[in-house]
Amino acid sequence: MPLVTISILKGKPPEYVKAIADGINSAVIETMGFPDDDRYQVITEHEPYCLEYQDRSEDRVMMFLIMRRGRTPEAKKAFYKKVVENLERDPGIESANVMVTIVENSDIDWSFQDGIAQFVP
């Protein structure tokens, strides 16, 4: 159940955006063992000059995942590999143009509703 912020270039069709969101979610579930219904994504679209990724001028995606501690380095590596495979397949983004950052936190750092820290008794 990571919170995933996905940054893409502005002006893409809804099918393109959905393919990215689905590809990332599928990779999270497959490689890190999150439940199928844990989907928390914020997708932002940016003008090309506002989404800088070194000297890349073609399609690019940057994602930032925040999740609770506990995933192994192997699981994270598997995620990196799977997510670029998914995005290369659909919607066709080259793996060199996908950037992933993961930050971990603790149970107390999450509240889903009602002002309650649901992971902390």
Q: What digits encode the pLDDT tens for the residues 86-109?
A: 999 999 999 999 999 999 999 999
Distances (CA, A) of 17 to 45, 73, 78: 9, 28, 23
pLDDT at position 56 is 83
- Confirm or reject CATH 3.30.429.10 for domain 3-109, answering yes or no: yes
**Of the candidate ranges 6-10, 35-39, 79-83, 94-98, the one whose mean pLDDT is the lowest:** 35-39
Mean residue pLDDT across the chain: 96
pLDDT at position 57 is 81
Q: Which amino acid is at 24?
A: I
Domain boundaries, the chain: 3-109
What are the residues facing 113 on neighbouring strands?
116
Interaxial angle between packed helices 73-89 and 14-32, expressed in degrees from 0 to 180 and rounded to the nearest 10: 150
* Nearest residue to 20 via CA among 43, 38, 52, 39: 43
- Whether pLDDT at 81 is above 90: yes
